[in-house]
Amino acid sequence: MFGNNHSAGNLRTPLAPWVSSATARIAFGAFAAAMLALMVATAVSPPEAWALPTALDTVSQVVNTALPVLRDRSSPVPQRRRKLRSLLEQHFDFSDMSRIALGYHWRELSTQQRAQFTQLFTAFIENAYLSKIQDYSGQDVAILGQNAEGEGFARVRSQIIQSGKQPIKVDYLLRDMDGDWKIYDVTVDAISIVANYRNQFNRVINDQGFDKLMSDMRVKQQQLEASMGS
Amino acid sequence: MAVSEEIMRMQTERSIKKLATLCGTALLATLLMVSATFGQSAATGGGDQAAAPKLPGEKTLPGETGGPYTDPLEPFNSAMFKFNVDLDQYVVTPVAKGYSYVMPEPARQSVNNFFRNVGVIPRFANNLFQLHPYNAANELARFGINSTLGVAGLFDVADSWFGMKQHNDDFGLTLGHYGIYSGPYVMLPFFGPSTVRDTVGLVVDGCMNPMAWLLPWYVTIPADAGSEAINAVNYRSLHPNQFEEADRYAVDLYGAVQDAYMQTRVAELKRIAQ
């Protein structure tokens, strides 16, 4: 636009033969000034006003923050776990996850039971993710794209690239919560993790009751905690 | 000489008759399932698994797929699951460990490629049945290339040199593709998780093995069982931590395996439909 700053004398259009070169130059100048003002305004105003983060941005941010922490062998493991734990708490919607994981049993629970379950399930999922730190061996993550899944919902597709093997497809389902996109489900190679847990929890509640589910989950969570102790 | 040849011929005829009976039964079972599907669709409005009834106004978030599954065969399935887990823990895993010591990993990968290669006929046939002629021809070409350039299928050069990917398929997926209801979940001894539909598919795919029609049963059954056992041990040696991983993160292992299988089948049907 600024490069094509031909002199106004070249603006020969059959539509406006009466536009004098001087007028054209003034109009063009005004237009240029307006554009410049707009650009300056964009630079100084807060970015949120101009570009709300998309679901893909959120996942990219999570991945780009997590990978260096996973790769950093020099810092102590508890410190790296703390960083990853806060990352999970910031970007995962654990309350929705817990509700979906219990399925139709959720409505049978009291408020206190729901809170207890959410707390335990959150700890369990966090430990499950964090215990995988030692399994990480430098794989790269490629974020492929996003699809809208309805008003305020999105699916972000990614792949974990392993040398010599097929890449692992990982999809994230996100929900728009007041401008913040939060992850409520992860699908690994076409298997939704939350749906898988829902089937497990459903079976345990049907066969043995909610309290048995809580104690079984607590045992597993503590086992994961212990295995991370080293 | 002539007498033993005669006996061989008679026994081959008898085993062909047995095989024909078995395969005929499988096809009959297929027809029954087709008619049952129409009944099922009429009753519950279709769908592959019976979903839990929802209260009015209860929201489902997008992507909330899978379960809960009605499991009418649960006592049988639990027993078979325990059998399979014990078999894996006490037989297959120790043998696989010893096998891993003797066979280096590239050799085991080649054995895996060999078994994948010879399993081409069900893949080819089912891709045709599902009206994907390109994929069927692709499977045939892969078999030709891997059997020759890939040294009897030991090397998957069709993939590594020519980028020709395998298109996994079986008769259970063909039945599902044409709308046959999956039926209840079935845990088969040795074979692992399945459904009624997929079990029928397994039998039909087995009937496609030409050796089963050419040789008597006392040759093909031990040979098949032996080769399947080698395949299982070899596969297990390539994935040593699969069971332990699943067990570490599962609160209910039976439910985890059940759901993983059912979700995978639904995803495969979606893949075929595209």
In sequence order, what are the residues at sequence separation of 6 or more whose Cβ sits closer than 8 angstroms to the Cβ of residue A157? A143, A144, A145, A146, A147, A169, A170, A171
pLDDT for res B1 = 62
Q: ipTM value of the model?
A: 0.82
Q: Do A100 and B61 touch (CB under 8 A)?
A: yes
- Position A94 pLDDT exceeds 80: yes
Q: Who among B54, B251, B263 is closest to A220 (CB)?
A: B251
Q: Do B255 and A200 touch (CB under 8 A)?
A: yes
Pairs of CB atoms within 8 A across A/B:
100
pLDDT for res A229 = 66
pLDDT for res B237 = 93
pLDDT for res A31 = 59
Paired with A170 in beta bridges are A158, A188
- Position A226 pLDDT exceeds 70: yes
Paired with A160 in beta bridges are A141, A168
A135 or A35, which is more confident?
A135
Gap between the Cα atoms of B157 and B141, Å rounded: 11
Q: Do A199 and B62 touch (CB under 8 A)?
A: no
Gap between the Cα atoms of A59 and A156, Å rounded: 7
Q: Which chain A residues in 145-204 lie under 8 Å from chain B, judged by CB atoms?
A: 149-150, 153, 155, 173, 175, 184-185, 187, 189-192, 194-204
Q: Is B251 on the interface with A (CB under 8 A)?
A: yes
pLDDT for res A113 = 94
pLDDT for res B186 = 94
> What token pair was written down for A12?
């020969």
Give the pLDDT band of residue A179 (cuts 50, 70, 90).
confident
Gap between the Cα atoms of B165 and B271, Å rounded: 14
Residue B217 CA: distances (Å) to CA of B16, B125, B227: 8, 23, 15
DSSP state of A173: E
Residues of B in contact with A192 (CB under 8 A): 63-66, 263
Residue numbers of chain B with a pLDDT score lower than 70: 1, 34-35, 37-67
Buried b (16+ CB within 10 A) or exposed e, B175-196: bbbeebbbbbbbbeeeeebbbb
Buried b (16+ CB within 10 A) or exposed e, A174-197: bbbeeeebbbbbbbeebbbbbbbb
Q: Write phi, then psi, for A172 (nearest 5 degrees).
A: -115, 135
DSSP A95-152: HHHHHHHHGGGGGGS-HHHHHHHHHHHHHHHHHHHHTTGGG--S-EEEEEEEEE-STT
DSSP state of A72: -
pLDDT for res A130 = 85
Q: Is B59 on the interface with A (CB under 8 A)?
A: no
Q: Is B259 on the interface with A (CB under 8 A)?
A: yes
Give the pLDDT band of residue A5 (cuts 50, 70, 90).
very low
Mean pLDDT of A6-17: 45
> What token pair was written down for B190?
């040795």
Gap between the Cα atoms of B34 and B18, Å rounded: 24
Question: Under a CB-based contact definition with an 8 Å cutoff, are residues B19 and B224 in contact?
Answer: no
Q: Who among A96, A199, A204 is closest to B61 (CB)?
A: A96
- Preceding peptide of B68 cis, ω within 30°: yes
pLDDT for res A178 = 86
Q: Who among B62, B67, B263 is closest to A202 (CB)?
A: B67
pLDDT for res B152 = 92
Smallest Cα distance from A172 to chain B, Å: 10
H/E run at residue B64: none
Give the pLDDT band of residue A1 (cuts 50, 70, 90).
very low
Buried b (16+ CB within 10 A) or exposed e, A108-128: ebeeeebeebbebbbbbbbbb
Residues of A in contact with B264 (CB under 8 A): 189-191
Helices of type H across B51-195: 74-87, 93-102, 105-118, 120-129, 133-148, 157-160, 171-177
Q: Do B259 and A195 touch (CB under 8 A)?
A: yes
Instruction: For chain B, give the percent of residues with pLDDT over 70.
Output: 87
In sequence order, what are the residues at sequence separation of 6 or more whose Cβ sits closer than 8 angstroms to the Cβ of residue A143? A56, A59, A60, A63, A156, A157, A158
Residue B8 CA: distances (Å) to CA of B13, B22, B220: 9, 21, 14
pLDDT for res A194 = 92
Q: What is the pLDDT of residues A154-174, one digit of tens each?
A: 999 999 998 877 889 999 999
Q: Do B67 and A173 touch (CB under 8 A)?
A: no
Length of chain B: 274
pLDDT for res A70 = 86
Residues of B in contact with A107 (CB under 8 A): 55, 58
pLDDT for res A29 = 56
Mean pLDDT of A191-216: 93
Query: Angle at the Cα of A177 (from A176 to A178), degrees rounded to 5?
Result: 105
Q: Do A203 and B52 touch (CB under 8 A)?
A: no
Ranking A24-33, A140-149, A190-199 by mean pLDDT, the lowest is A24-33
Nearest chain A residue to B60 by CA: give it.
Answer: A100
Q: What is the CA radius of gyration of chain B?
A: 21
pLDDT for res B51 = 45
Nearest to B194 by CA among B90, B108, B77: B77
Residues of A in contact with B263 (CB under 8 A): 190-192, 195-196
